[in-house]
Structure formats: C-alpha cells, structure tokens
Structure 1
C-alpha cells in the first residue's frame, strides 16, 4: 500500500512569521500536535520550510532564554524544526513508517512533484491497527517496561526537562508504590506555562516557576490497560479518545509498562514489510 492511501489531504499549516499563540490556537482547534510551517517566496509560491510540534513549543516556552518574552512575541520560525523530512506520495507504508521511526518524528509531509499534497502522522498508522490482523498481537508483546515516571511532588520544570531530554510526549505520575495516579503531557505543560506567564509579573517568573508542581497540572482522569489486551483494542481506544499512549497496569493498578503510538507504528512497519 502506498502512503497516499492513508495520508490526510486536509492540510493545516502556519506561516513562519506567525507567533506561538497562533500556532497553539491552530493545534487546539484542529486537535493535532504538529503543524507544517510555510513561507511565501518571491514568486508568491508557498514553500515548506519547517515543522513545529507541541513539544517544540513547550521547550521554547520554558527556556530561560525566553523568560522575558511573551508567547505573542515569539515567532514560529524561532521554534520550528527546519530540517523537514518529507516523502513522495508513491512510497509504501513500511518505508515511511521506518523513516519516521529512524528520525524520531511523529508526522511526515507528503509531496507530489515536490509540492506538498498531504501529511501523515502516527495516528494515521494507528487506524490500520484496528483491523483483524492485529487482533492476535497482545499489548505485552509491544509495551515498554522501562517506564519513565514522575511523582506528584516533582516540579513542573523537572517534568518539562524530562519530556524534552527523553523525546517523549507524556509522563506517567506514580505514587511511592508505583501505583498510577495521573499523567502529564506536553499539552499540559504548555497550558501551565502560558497561564503562569500571563498571571505572574516578569520579575518574579524565574523564582516562582519552581512553585508549580506536577500535582497542580496533571490529569487524574487516566486509566490503565491490561497487558493481555489486543493491539486492535488499544488502537480503537486511541482512535476514540485521541490519547497517544496508554499506561499498562496490573490488577492492583500498579504500572508495569506503557504502550504508545510509536509502538504501533513499529508494528505496522514490521507487518507491512512482510
């Protein structure tokens, strides 16, 4: 199957000279996590010059270098990743999936004759995993057991740095017995930083940012999934809820792993390569 068969043709883009607030509004309105960045050249042609994600914005907002700048003054061009990996619409699914895995990226612009005609994300591959071919694969076959977690008493700045350093989109929040008590995502961090910058005078921000804890911004409406669940079941839940990952818990609600869209992407790559 070629990538054109699952790509989204409803492109949502942003100009490089727009600001971070504009980008966040587009992400929220369209319920997406990444935006292709466009520039209009001298010939009045729109060309792809970058891509920006929620994690990129969280990294920029929490940086000490931008403490004195409001989000409205930060241009998308200062946040975006400039080295964009794009693929031709005729490439097959397995090759595109492997490109995404090798480069650690969540979406890829699709081109035809060097013109962007669509975009494909991990979520598009997850849709494939609801098929019967994935009923026999169990969560325990794919899940990551070495889970990166934080506690409710960890600071927001620590959670932000952990997400950035490990190139992940979410952190599970556990208690001292490794019980699941919440989850914190890049989106949660962005909202907290935006609210903090809006309410806190600039001269106090550097010190008071340390007073925000994981417990203040995490989501407690989180439930785990059994390691015996099928991949098609997980894919269906991801499609229904929009969640990018699920904690894997035992009968005592203790965390034993995590399964994410990246794990499902790797499975599609393997199956489509056969």
Structure 2
C-alpha cells in the first residue's frame, strides 16, 4: 500500500456518532459506551459545530467549580463540554498530511468532507490500522521515560496528571513498582461521571479523593518488548481497544510506552515508498 498516495477518504471510519448540541452529556456517554467508541460529532441542526471526546470530558467535567455542585451530569449539555471550532479536511487529503495536521493542531480526529458533507471521521485509531503490518521495531519509537501512577493514588490526582501532561494512558504500579494495570481516559471518564452524580446529590467532594486508581484501572496488561514490531503494537491497540501498550525489559520492568499519539508521530515522520 502506497501511503504517500492513500487518502483519508479511503482510510477513515465511515460510521460515526452524530449528536445535537443540546443533548445531555449523560445520554451522550451512554451512547458512546453502547457503540464502544470514544467520540462524537456535535451538530446544530445540520451544521457541524463541535466534537466531543472522552478526553474532553475528563478535562472539562466540572469537579471543582462550585456553581455546578448541585447540577447532575444529566443536566449538562454537550455545548458546554465540546471542542470547537472543528477542523475538517476534504476526502482527497493524503493520510500523511492529515496525520501531521493532527499533531500540529493537537487533535485526535478530523471529519472528512465531500461535496460540503461530512462523510467520515479520520482518527488516530485509523492510523493504527494502517500500521498493523509495520516491521519497524518498538525500540525505534517507544516513549521514555514513562509517566506512571501508584494504584493507591486518587482518581482526582489521576485526572490532574492526565490534564497537565496531555496524555490519555497511565501505567499503574503497586508499592513495589510492579506493573499491575493501566488507566486510560475511558475508565476515568466512567468513574468521574458516576461520582460527580453522587456529588450533585449531596455527596462530599472529599470522598472523591479516597477512591483509588486501583479500583477503576483496567487489570489487563498489554505489554511488548523492544524487539517486537510496531505492527504487533498496533494490532494489540486495536484488538484490545486500548490507547497504549507498555514496553517492558527482560525482567518485566517498565522501560517505555507506545500510545496512539506515538504511532501517529511515527507514521507522520515516515516517507513511504510503494512496493
């Protein structure tokens, strides 16, 4: 496959979720969970006005803002959480150009247009799909050092770390620094929404600080080694629906991580030659 010529019109996900600006955040998250996806396009009648991702929810959900204290998630509209304006690209745009725009604009998806209509959604997951046959090695692209989080840390701290570091995946360690799980914005979103509803019903915010990462983390450990291929990483990410894979050494200690963003950076840096 000649990646230099491949367009986003051919590589994108054709099905995507469309929601209205006045739809509730609660119902939107239920629909995302039902469809096993992590984002939706937001419309005002027939006009695209925004996009919402689970990372947006983690960043924007009102935990500390007292004016929201008694408002349940069910009463928050998508217009208050979504990212806007939305960058779109025509279906004839090369995938390499689109990947580089994602990195430049710090976004993870781009709606695809044809004849002034949105026909698909190009995401970092699609880029992972393009890399399942890559024979490049993990050691050539893994991120070092790795941000980790102890399993006894609060989910409030986990949220702050994800926001401050601009990441979506955190390996979880125990008190012996052993890898015991992984926390992504997916698990964190579900937990925060449930807990903010409790807060809105009169629960104490201080109680949120006592809920540990170990209680909501994903215990499955997607791991690879430095001599594994990027293709294996991409396959793991897609088959397990995780945003990152931990790299371990021969002693099973954490030595790096590869996320969807790392795959996108590596993909965007490549010059592909047709074979």
Per the normalisation by structure 1, the TM-score is 0.91
Deviation at 1:195, TM superposition (A): 2.7
Q: 1:84 aligns with which of 83, 86, 109?
A: 86
- Higher helix fraction: Structure 1 or Structure 2? 1
- Pick aligned residue for 1:19 from 12, 17, 24: 24
Match of 2:36 in 1: 31
Q: Equivalent of 1:8, from 6, 9, 13?
A: 13
The CA distance in 2 between the partners of 1:260 and 1:169, in whole Å, is 8
SS in 2 for 1:97: helix
Alpha-carbon separation, structure 1, partners of 2:95 and 2:198:
46
- Cα separation, partners in 2 of 1:11 and 1:194, compared to 1, 3 Å: closer
1:210 equivalent in alignment to 2:212: no
Structure 1 partner of 2:193: 194
> Structure 1 residues 201, 69: closer, same or farther in 2, change over 3 A?
closer
Contact 1:62 1:193 in 2 (8 A): no
Change beyond 3 A, Cα 1:90–1:272: farther
Alpha carbons 2:24, 2:74 under 8 Å: kept: yes
CA distance in 2, matches of 1:62, 1:160: 12
Structure 2 residue aligned with 1:237? 236
Partner of 1:98: 100
Unaligned runs of 5+ in 1: 41-45
Q: TM-score, normalised by structure 2?
A: 0.91
Q: Cα deviations across residues 49-73 of structure 1 (Å, max 9, x unaligned)?
A: 0000101112233521233211110
1:43 corresponds to:
none
In the alignment, does 2:133 pair up with 1:150? no
Structure 2 distance, partners of 1:272, 1:126, is 16
Residue pair 1:148, 1:172 contacting (<8 A) in 2 also: yes
The separation in 2 between residues aligned to 1:198 and 1:79, in whole angstroms, is 16
Q: Is the 8 A contact 1:197 1:205 kept in 2?
A: no
Map Cα deviations across residues 157-193 of structure 1 (whole Å, 9 max, x no partner): 0001111122211211123453211111112112222
Match of 1:53 in 2: 53
Query: In the alignment, which residue of structure 1 is the partner of 2:3?
Result: none
Q: Distance in 1 between matches of 2:271 and 2:41?
A: 27
Instruction: Supply the RMSD in Å over aligned alpha carbons.
Output: 1.7
Name which of structure 1's ranges 157-166 and 197-206 shifts more when overlaid on structure 2: 197-206
Equivalent position SS for 2:156: helix
Take 1:205 and 1:193, find their aligned partners in 2: how far apart are those partners? 14
> 2: distance between equivalents of 1:200 and 1:36?
28
Aligned to 1:180: 179
- Once structures 1 and 2 are overlaid, which stretch shifts more, 244-253 or 216-225? 216-225
Determine helix, strand or coil for the equivalent of 1:203.
coil
Contact kept in structure 2, 1:93 and 1:272, CA below 8 Å:
no
Deviation string for 1:30-63 (max 9, x for gaps)? 22111111111xxxxx111000010111223352
8 Å CA contact retained: 1:154, 1:214: yes
**Partners of 1:197 and 1:130 in 2: CA distance:** 38
Kept in 1: contact 2:112–2:121 (CA 8 A): yes
Cα distance in structure 1, aligned partners of 2:92 and 2:115: 11
Match of 1:261 in 2: 260
Residues 141 and 262, structure 2, Cα contact 8 Å, conserved in 1: yes
2:147/2:171 contact within 8 Å kept? yes
The number of aligned residues is 266
| Closer, same or farther: CA 154–165 of 1 in aligned 2, 3 Å | same
Q: How far off its partner does 1:104 sit?
A: 1.6
Q: Matched residue of 2:188: which SS?
A: helix
